[in-house]
Structure 1
């Protein structure tokens, strides 16, 4: 099964946290938000994941 994570928003409502860090990399309970999503998708049997990124996206690569 395939999934797409939409992670391209600038996150203005989360400023100043998102001024230098994209939303998916903001830590929550010691792990970046995107890791929580990836773990849940993997646990659900998702094998192909595409991540749509833009704002500070080079930090995700």
Structure 2
């Protein structure tokens, strides 16, 4: 099992900025500058889905 410090090193952020993705629960930079409640993979899926939704409503 990895420690908060090792997860932070992989994510290139401080350990106090690491949290769980709101969607998949994987570690991500959730807090601080550049933080997001979603990990990069989930964020990409949501943005792709939003793009498809906007295209169909035009």
* TM-score normalised per structure 1: 0.31
More strand by share: 1
More helix by share: 2
Question: Bigger radius of gyration, 1 or 2?
Answer: 2
Higher relative contact order (CA 8 A, sep 6+): 1
